Amino acid sequence: MKFRQTLISSVMAVSLGLGVSTAHAEGSLSIYHWFEYIPQELLDKFAKENDVEVTMDTFDSNESMLATLKAGKLGSYDVAVPGDYMVEIMAGEGMLDSFESSELSNFGNIEDQWVDVGFDKGRKHSIPYQWGSTSFMVNRDVYKDDIRTTDIIFNPPTELEGKINVLDSQGEVLALASLHLGISQCSQDRDELKALNALLQEAKPKWASFNSDGAKDVLVSGDAAVGMIWNGFGAKAREEGANVEYSYPKEGYVVWMDNVVLLKDAPNRENALKFMDFLLEPENIAAVTNFARYTAGVKGVGDMLDADLKASPEANPPADAPAGTFVAVCDEETQKFYDQIWTNLKK
């Protein structure tokens, strides 16, 4: 008899426990985000304002995020923060939920140039998060000559050989290499593809490492004298005391925009939309920009930015710099060759 009572009470305890956690789960938001890309205080602010429990996992490349979501994590996160080309890929794979602009009260805050973007026409799945460029930084104690050329990465002068860190990011490395050769990004021309492959094969022995999440650290520590890097992350390297200069090469450089997307099967769709609305408030997204050192795509942010950020050399290309290029999305048939070139490089 006593045993039965114990049994019943423990079953009740378990079901009560479940009840509590379900009630709790209604007020939660699960974010899949880049590393070091949002200040904790901002997450806390959102959690407090909306009485929501926020959890966040991080990734270090668009590709690894896609792989994780494809491997069964879709349905456990509400929002993710893919780059431009990855938004297009994810939409094509049916991994994104869509929303109406009326569902976001701050939709009108998006800067006009970022409303109708090629990777998400009319912003059905995404809102701007931050945008910036991908190029490289050079340690000026080690190398004093002209750095505004992609030769620094792909055909480096002898004093920089073996001191170069490259982002472990297929899209950006291959796009920058294509700019270096002056070929289009989704080329199907065999000679061009062979040249691209050969360029990377010849450059690889002169590189020290492939590292994305350590891209800033290798520059600050001096492990690398040249590092491919995103402009805001590079600004942090400089601010941490390294004598490094960001290059806007004459051959061109990569521009990107990271976007908050609404994931398909989001367990907390409503909170996800609240979070997107929250990030379209100038005050909040300015906090991200001040933290991450990139540029927001929201109106009215300008006044809330740190003074040194407005003048930072990483965020302000020199007047004669060419326009940046977005990473292109190739069709399956073409992408196969680029995947093969990347595999050849990494193996």
Partner 1 sequence: MAGLTPTTSTGTSATLSGSAFDPLRKRLLFPAWFVIGFFLVLPVLLMLVYSFLTKEFRGGVVWEFSTASYDQFFFDRGLFGDEPAKIEWTYITIFWRSIVQALIATVICLLIGFPTAYFIATRPDSTRNLWLFLVTVPYWVNLLIRTVSMKFLIRDNGPMNEWLMMVGLIDSPIHLINTNIAVQLGLFYSYLPFMVLPVYASVERFNFSLAEAAADLYASRWTTLRRVILPAVKPGIIAGCILVFVPSLGAFLAPDLLGGAKNFMIGSLIEEQFKGSAGNWPFGAACSMILLSMVLLVLMVYARSQARAGAQ
The residues with which 255 forms a beta bridge, in sequence order, are 133
| Least Å from the CB of residue 80 to partner 1 | 15
Is residue 201 within the footprint of partner 1 (CB under 8 A)? Answer: no
Size of the site for partner 1 (CB under 8 A): 39
| Nearest-5° Cα angle at 147, 146 to 148 | 100
Of 264, 262, 247, 260, whose CA–CA distance to 321 is shortest? 247
Is residue 243 within the footprint of partner 1 (CB under 8 A)? Answer: no
Residues 87, 274: Cα–Cα separation, whole Å: 20
| Least Å from the CB of residue 286 to partner 1 | 32
Q: Which is nearer to partner 1, 104 or 164 (CB)?
A: 164
Residues 229, 133: Cα–Cα separation, whole Å: 9
| Least Å from the CB of residue 176 to partner 1 | 16
Is residue 161 within the footprint of partner 1 (CB under 8 A)? Answer: no
Interface with partner 1 (CB under 8 A), residue from 170, 187, 231, 312: 170
Q: Identify which range of 10-18, 123-131, 204-212, 296-304 contacts partner 1 by CB under 8 A.
A: 204-212
Which segments of the chain does DSSP mark as H helices, in order?
2-25, 40-50, 62-68, 84-92, 151-154, 170-181, 190-203, 215-221, 231-239, 269-279, 282-292, 307-310, 332-346
Is residue 10 within the footprint of partner 1 (CB under 8 A)? Answer: no
Q: Identify which range of 2-10, 127-135, 220-228, 279-287 contacts partner 1 by CB under 8 A.
A: 220-228
| Least Å from the CB of residue 63 to partner 1 | 4
The residues with which 123 forms a beta bridge, in sequence order, are none
Q: Which is nearer to partner 1, 40 or 344 (CB)?
A: 344
Interface with partner 1 (CB under 8 A), residue from 75, 222, 302, 322: 222
| Least Å from the CB of residue 289 to partner 1 | 28
Residues 231, 315: Cα–Cα separation, whole Å: 7
Is residue 290 helix, strand or coil? helix
| Least Å from the CB of residue 322 to partner 1 | 27
Which pair of structure tokens corresponds to residue 331?
Answer: 């069709």
Q: x/- contact string, 45-84, with partner 1 (CB under 8 A)? A: ----------------xxxx-xx--xx-------------
Which pair of structure tokens corresponds to residue 145?
Answer: 């000559």
DSSP conformational letter for 330: P
CA distances from 287 to 52, 284, 293, 302 (A): 20, 5, 10, 11
Q: End-to-end distance of the chain based on CA atoms, in angstroms?
A: 67
Residues that bind partner 1 (CB under 8 A): 61-64, 66-67, 70-71, 89, 93, 165, 168, 170-171, 190, 193-194, 197, 204, 207-211, 221-223, 332, 335, 337-344, 346-347
